Amino acid sequence: MSAVTPASRVTHRTVLAIAAPIVLSNLSTPLLGIADTAVMGRMGDPKYIGAVAIGALIFTMVFWTFGFLRMGTTGLTAQALGARDGEEIRAALGRAMLIAGGVGLALIALQWPIREVAFFLLDGGPEVEPLARNYFDIRVWSAPAALANYALVGWFIGLGRANIALLLQVFLNLVNIFFNIVLALGLGWGVAGIATGTLIAEFAAALLGLLIAVRHLRFYPGQWTRARLLDAARLARTVAVNRDIMVRTVVLMLSFAWFTAKSAEAGTVTLAVNSILLQFVTVSAFFLDGFALAAEALVGRAVGARSRDDFDRSARLSTLWAAGIACVLSLGIFAGGGAVIDFLSVDVEVRAVARVYLFWAALLPVLSVWCYQLDGIFIGATRGPEMRNAALASSLIFLGLWWLLLPYGNHGLWAALAGFNLMRAASLGFYFPRLRRSI
């Protein structure tokens, strides 16, 4: 196995070799939620399902706030690979793991205020909240492992080994499902069993990832050195990149939370309709994200090699595939969305109203693919400030569009969301020529 695959060898097959495992990994993730729901559904009371749903939502929000550990590590590792710098490849993983461990321990230390704020914002009711709190109190101890998994997945993707990222995700899900069934149903631990099963799975996946990483380091010349790992300039750059990506991630999450909040304010039917239609958006993102991650790895490698030709080819081929898949997704939603709506809801009114707004969900893949791809390109190039600025500007535009389009009700809300994604693409597109010239 060669330590470095030159970016000039980027082909359609290279793009698919990274994108396909990521798509499969993304599609495997909902299976865990389905399994948890099925296990809790056998407990005989809906409060168990609600408790796990609320608890899982809290950790999705908290952990993904630190999603920079995946994104930043991918870009930094890919650039080190392109520069053929074995020691920096090692150091990129080492710094990410140090940050993951430090942040994870901080989350454990701050669990009381995090828990109280979370349950203040998410009122589950007197039956659900005590169970959800129990879930939180157990799963919070998985924080170092969960964040370490972000870093490991980012590192493997940066090396172009998306197949290993897929392996780790599938392993985590299978271990999680196994222990959830054994502990929650077999031993009768209920919600506590689900939380414990997830905790075990996170640590098991992190351990497996570290073992595989140690084996892969043989292919990259260099040694672990404290001087390189804690080099002030490189450490400052890592922190700066991750800080900007963190701001970008939080801003984007708040924008989607605003969309959900305004859906709820519009009434129960509108909330149900938008929740169903967002499932189409989520599944579409599972596919498009694979090609954005391919752009991250390949563009990062080209930036590290300081090759503009390789940069152009990596960006062009990954975007070509993403655009094609986006068109297929949009056509599929137009053609089969009605049947999926009927499967997801038996309510006659919800079915009818969802069909009225279905075209928005069908349009979003072709409208959003450009911001996904540009995100991947800028993450690979580790251009954190541009991503931060684009996210802030896009969110302001989103709020402005929402306010202007209030008279149009839910159509206005969906139009604002579409405008939000288009603005994300336009703002990053504004920076793109400067990024390209810098290589």
Convert the chain into a string of H (helix), E (strand) and C (coil).
Answer: CCCCCCHHHCCHHHHHHHHHHHHHHHHHHHHHHHHHHHHHHCCCCHHHHHHHHHHHHHHHHHHHCCCHHHHHHHHHHHHHHHCCCHHHHHHHHHHHHHHHHHHHHHHHHCHHHHHHHHHHHCCCHHHHHHHHHHHHHHHHHHHHHHHHHHHHHHHHHHCCCHHHHHHHHHHHHHHHHHHHHHHHHHCCCCHHHHHHHHHHHHHHHHHHHHHHHHHHHHHCCCCCCHHHHCCHHHHHHHHHHHHHHHHHHHHHHHHHHHHHHHHHHCCHHHHHHHHHHHHHHHHHHHHHHHHHHHHHHHHHHHHHHCCHHHHHHHHHHHHHHHHHHHHHHHHHHHHHHHHHHHHHCCCHHHHHHHHHHHHHHHHHHHHHHHHHHHHHHHHHCCCHHHHHHHHHHHHHHHHHHHHHCHHHHHHHHHHHHHHHHHHHHHHHHHHHHHHHHCC
* Region of residue 328 (phi > 0: left; psi between -120 and 50: alpha; otherwise: beta): alpha
Short-list 294, 299, 313, CA closest to 8: 313
Distance CA 276, CA 344 (A): 7
Please count the other Cβ atoms lying within 10 Å of the Cβ belonging to residue 89.
Answer: 29
* Residue 89, CA atoms < 13 Å, CB-side half-sphere: 28
Report pLDDT for 34. Answer: 61
| Residues present in the chain in total | 439
Q: State residue 347's pLDDT score.
A: 77
* pLDDT at 7 (0 to 100): 43
Residue 48 near residue 324, CB atoms below 8 Å: no
Judge whether 153 and 168 are in contact, CB under 8 Å: yes
What is the model's pLDDT at position 322? 96
**Residues 162/19, Cβ–Cβ less than 8 Å:** yes
pLDDT tens, residue by residue, 328-387: 999 999 999 999 888 877 778 888 998 999 999 999 999 999 999 999 999 999 898 999
Q: What is the pLDDT of residue 372?
A: 95
89 near 81, Cβ under 8 Å? yes
Show the low-confidence residues of the chain (pLDDT under 70).
1-8, 29-38, 40-46, 49-50, 123-125
Q: What is the pLDDT of residue 30?
A: 64
